[in-house]
Amino acid sequence: EVQLVESGGGLVQPGGSLRLSCAASGFTFSSYAMHWVRQAPGKGLEYVSAISSNGGSTYYANSVKGRFTISRDNSKNTLYLQMGSLRAEDMAVYYCARGSLSGDAFDIWGQGTMVTVSS
């Protein structure tokens, strides 16, 4: 079964750091670009970051640039999001998503992990 499972969410103080993980299974992880998308409570979907299949290229939304770092370990079939200088507006459910091979859709999503930023 093709599956993505996020972990690492939790409560963090403003200014703090957190690392999210996304474990992939059921497909050749190293062949796919991967993405992070977040959803604040009761709000819509917001794109966060992307990484190419080999990890050589990354992209960040302006809202997280300089504070978040996306990475992957293809030997462990795992995607990461290192989040720093966290703000209240970063509080959201964070989803990892697989980029389709044609490159234009998010065809598999994880169940999400909640990040709460509060003192």
Partner 1 sequence: DIQMTQSPSSLSASVGDRVTITCQASQDISNYLNWYQQKPGKAPKLLIYDASNLETGVPSRFSGSGSGTDFTFTISSLQPEDIATYYCQQYDNLPPTFGQGTKLEIK
Asked if 23 touches partner 1 (CB under 8 A), the answer is no
Applying the rule CB under 8 A, the residues between 80 and 99 that interact with partner 1 are 95
Chain position carrying tokens 């598999």? 108
x-or-dash string of contact with partner 1, 26-65, rule CB under 8 A: -----------x------xxxx-----------x-xx---
- Cα 104 from chain centre: 17
Chain position carrying tokens 């703000």? 87
* CA atoms of 98 and 115, how far apart (whole Å): 20
- State the residues that interact with partner 1 by CB under 8 A: 37, 44-47, 59, 61-62, 95, 100, 102-107, 109-112
